[in-house]
């Protein structure tokens, strides 16, 4: 049971903030995973996080689109130059419009973090964002932006798998070599 909780902890940490997962396994003395086990559990956690947050991102994006559509429909009416048409009846149908003063549209507000992500996306595309997500961004944030900017889910999963595997191998190898004290131990 204790071993299962250790594995589950490593998987859950890796699914949210990937860089902390393998580091946590090596720096905590209670976790006695081998190099291969650490890689397997970290990659499992990272990919589990990508798939879960991809589906959550889809849901959040669809909900946001619905809310935004409701808000901007009302705003569009307010920002239009003319009011909605009014029909005079019983006899001939005449349509009258009233002139309405239009408002200046509000500028989109970008945070510095969002600007950096968009800059990376424009310069390097999906590959650049996937490469930086496990280390610099967290998996939920990176997956959200990738889902928002790229519609091909298989492509996202493939690039994230390559990125997570590469970073996992690199991090665990560095920690493994840092724990080894002599050249004789490295050669074994």
Structurally, how many domains does the chain consist of? 1
Mean pLDDT across 109-118: 76
pLDDT for the residue 45: 95
Entry pTM? 0.70
Mean pLDDT across 11-15: 92
pLDDT for the residue 123: 86
Of 21, 23, 14, which is closest to residue 175 (Cα–Cα)? 23
Q: Which residue has the higher pLDDT, 117 or 91?
A: 117
CB 85 within 8 A of CB 97: yes
pLDDT for the residue 175: 86
Taking the C-alpha atoms of residue 176 and residue 13, their distance in angstroms, rounded to an integer, is 19
pLDDT for the residue 74: 60
Residue 8 belongs to what domain range?
A: 2-187
pLDDT for the residue 161: 96
Q: Is the peptide bond before 19 cis (omega within 30 degrees of 0)?
A: no
């Amino acid at each position: 049971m204790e071993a299962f909780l250790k594995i589950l902890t490593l998987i859950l940490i890796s699914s949210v903030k990937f860089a902390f997962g393998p580091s946590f396994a090596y720096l905590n003395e209670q976790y006695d995973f081998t190099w291969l086990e650490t890689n397997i559990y970290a990659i499992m956690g990272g990919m589990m996080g990508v798939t879960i947050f991809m589906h959550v991102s889809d849901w959040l994006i669809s909900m946001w689109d619905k809310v935004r559509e409701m808000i901007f429909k009302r705003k569009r009416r307010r920002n239009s130059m003319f009011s909605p048409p009014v029909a005079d009846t019983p006899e001939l149908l005449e349509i009258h419009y009233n002139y309405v003063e239009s408002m200046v549209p509000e500028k989109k507000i970008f945070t510095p973090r969002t600007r950096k992500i968009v800059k990376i996306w424009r310069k390097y595309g999906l590959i650049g964002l996937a490469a930086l997500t496990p280390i610099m961004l967290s998996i939920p944030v990176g997956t959200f932006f990738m889902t928002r900017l790229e519609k091909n889910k298989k492509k996202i999963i493939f690039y994230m798998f390559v990125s997570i595997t590469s970073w996992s191998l690199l991090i665990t190898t560095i920690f493994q070599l840092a724990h080894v004290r002599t050249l004789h131990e490295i050669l074994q």
